Structure 1
Amino acid sequence: MYQYDCIIIGGGPAGLSAALTLGRARRKILLFDNGTNRNRVTQESHGYVTRDGIKPHEFKEIAITELQSYPSISISDQTVIEIKKDDQQFVVNTSNNISYLTEKILLATGIQEEFPIPQIRQYYGKSLFSCPYCDGWELKDKPLAIIAESEAHINHMTKLLYNWSQDLIVFTNGHQLSDIIQNEFQRKKIMVYTAIIKNLHGDEGNLYSIELETGENIVRSGGFVVPSFYRPNNLAIQLNCQVDENGGIITDNAGRTTVSGVYVAGETEKAGPSSLMIAAADGFKAATSINLDLTLLRF
């Protein structure tokens, strides 16, 4: 059976950053990446200094090229389906029926989105987005839609987006807003439609208008949505990692979970969205914890 110091599951910025750090620390690393990272649908990634505007696949290609400089790092596109604790080690099983042994596990599989309206996915990453810091600049001063169902999310996203564009219309998809929020938006000339959304219209990912069940068809050229997020696998549950009341994986703030030998980095930890830069920093932080723990164990 193949033996590693650490197996990293997830090839997003957190996993790639951790692999680089551990490879440079001369640890034998296996990185699993099955290509399902959620930013694969994005045309450009923003906010990562020296890489602003880079395409996600180019970002990953550069990272993998860098990792290949370190002979102790291996990369696999297999999907991990099960992890079991075996004495002081972990057995990692893949969908290809291959098993691997490792002393440490880093979970960096990220999260995935669920949308209140299925058609959103046709436009997501091209004209509809979820993070103003990532994509607000490209949509500045355009007629934008805000699609969300929770009043707290609507209030936060609308106020935030007003800095990028003041031509905003809120779509609640059948949910009502309090009079306080309605009046506050009205003072800023922000319209609110509470009718259920019937359809989105556009072409090749470019949004043109939003059709409501009332028959109204409101012209918009893009916008922002507030999806719900979930972890794409139950590996943390398999490993008995403790979670908090919000579903976040409990850590020591340095990547260590409540299970000895299991670490977490990036969006996997909080089951919420993060930027490339923050996720990469989380990967670095978790990797230094892993390397320190291996050092103290073996010295």
Structure 2
Amino acid sequence: MDIFDCAIIGAGPAGLNAALVLGRARRRVVLFDNDTNRNRVTKAAHGFMTREGVKPAELRQLALAELGQFPSVSVHKRTVEQISKANGGEQVFQIMSANKQIFLAKKILLAAGVHEKFPKITNIREFYGKSLFSCPYCDGWENRGKPLIVIAEKQEHVHHMTKLLYNWSKDLVVTTNGHPMSKEMIEEFQQKQIKVINDQVRLIYGNNGNMAGVEFDSGEKIAREAGFIVPSFYRPKPFVEELGCEVKEDGKIVTDDLGRTTIKSVYSAGEFSHAGPASLIIAAAEGSKAAGAINYDLSDESF
């Protein structure tokens, strides 16, 4: 069976940019993608120079088309189910896809991203990516000056998000969705004329994903045009556990500055490394750095 130089798990900006760099380095690369990228619900991506406002789907198609220039890069639209050391091959990994097809590779780049887990609020998915967002740097400009709501279930998260958003809009309502909120923080917000409703959110209402307001369990309704939420994040597959990579207490994978994990020949980049959100341009940069490390390590081992 042919052995690839590198298998890249995930075709988000980190995986796509890594594949581009490795393809240009004449490396044999297999890139796996199952089209479950987190930003597929996003109408426009921001903060990426020369691509301001581009649809993430369009950006992916542009990147995939560019990879077509490099015959050593192959793309498989399949879910990877398992990664393990190949029998009899200390420096070779076995990758098994959902349809039980086996691939072999010398290096592994984990770039599968993360998925969101939201508070239990009725119909939240209907609005997420359209009028409910998670990143002020990505969507704050488009919602500047609007009446906004901040939803986060941890006090430190609602505090952090509110301070950031105050730069884009002063018309804010904040809630920890019924979870504890300190008297000091409430007073701090009130001094800024920020309304605090520490009740559980029953539902978000509006049309076609465009928020009109929020209703609380108390029956109170407030008109809001958009909002920002802090979800929790999780990795979609247990590759980290399978491969034995060291993970910090906060969920981040332990890597060096170039994405090398604590397991030889296993690298990580993008949101998968952080167990949390990252901008497109940062994830792409991390993919580029990891690809450089992978190419150097392959060159060093074969020289």
Do these two structures clear the TM 0.5 threshold for a shared fold by scoring above it?
yes
User: SS of 1:31's equivalent?
Assistant: strand
Deviation at 1:228, TM superposition (A): 0.3
Asked whether 1:44 is paired with 2:47, we answer no
- 5 Å-filtered alignment, 1:153-164, equals 153-164=157-168
Instruction: Choose which of 214, 222, 245 in structure 2 pairs with 1:241.
Output: 245
Contact 1:2 1:99 in 2 (8 A): no
Contact 1:46 1:54 in 2 (8 A): yes
User: SS of 1:81's equivalent?
Assistant: strand
Give the unaligned 5+ runs of structure 1: none
Partner of 1:226: 230
User: SS of 1:232's equivalent?
Assistant: coil
Deviation at 1:117, TM superposition (A): 2.7
Distance of 1:244 and 1:148 partners within structure 2: 23
Q: Deviations over 1:203-239 (max 9, x none)?
A: 1111111111111111111110000000011011111
- 5 Å-filtered alignment, 1:18-167, equals 18-86=18-86, 87-118=90-121, 119-167=123-171
Q: Structure 2 counterpart of 1:196, which letter?
A: Q
Partner of 2:194: 190
Asked whether 1:264 is paired with 2:268, we answer yes
Q: Which moved more, 1:80-89 or 1:131-140?
A: 80-89
Q: Which moved more, 1:248-257 or 1:271-280?
A: 248-257
Q: TM-score, normalised by structure 1?
A: 0.98
Asked whether 1:209 is paired with 2:213, we answer yes
The total of aligned residue pairs comes to 299
Deviation at 1:76, TM superposition (A): 0.5
Q: Structure 2 counterpart of 1:61, which letter?
A: Q
Distance of 1:176 and 1:191 partners within structure 2: 16
Deviation at 1:122, TM superposition (A): 1.2
Q: TM-score, normalised by structure 2?
A: 0.97
Instruction: Choose which of 278, 283, 289 in structure 1 pairs with 2:282.
Output: 278
The RMSD of aligned alpha carbons is 0.8
User: SS of 2:107's equivalent?
Assistant: strand
After TM superposition, where is structure 1 displaced by more than 2 Å over at least 4 residues in a row?
A: none
Deviation at 1:77, TM superposition (A): 0.3
Distance of 1:2 and 1:50 partners within structure 2: 38
Q: Structure 2 counterpart of 1:58, which letter?
A: E
Deviation at 1:84, TM superposition (A): 1.1
Distance of 2:275 and 2:146 partners within structure 1: 30
Deviation at 1:270, TM superposition (A): 1.3
Q: Deviations over 1:80-111 (max 9, x none)?
A: 00111022200110011110111000000000
Distance of 1:128 and 1:199 partners within structure 2: 13
Q: Deviations over 1:36-82 (max 9, x none)?
A: 11000000000000001000110000001111011111000011001
Deviation at 1:252, TM superposition (A): 1.3
Deviation at 1:177, TM superposition (A): 1.6
Deviation at 1:138, TM superposition (A): 0.5
Distance of 2:226 and 2:9 partners within structure 1: 34
Asked whether 1:296 is paired with 2:286, we answer no
Deviation at 1:149, TM superposition (A): 1.3
User: SS of 1:250's equivalent?
Assistant: coil
User: SS of 2:35's equivalent?
Assistant: coil
Deviation at 1:195, TM superposition (A): 1.1
Identity of aligned residues (%): 54
Q: Structure 2 counterpart of 1:71, which letter?
A: P
Contact 2:124 2:203 in 1 (8 A): no
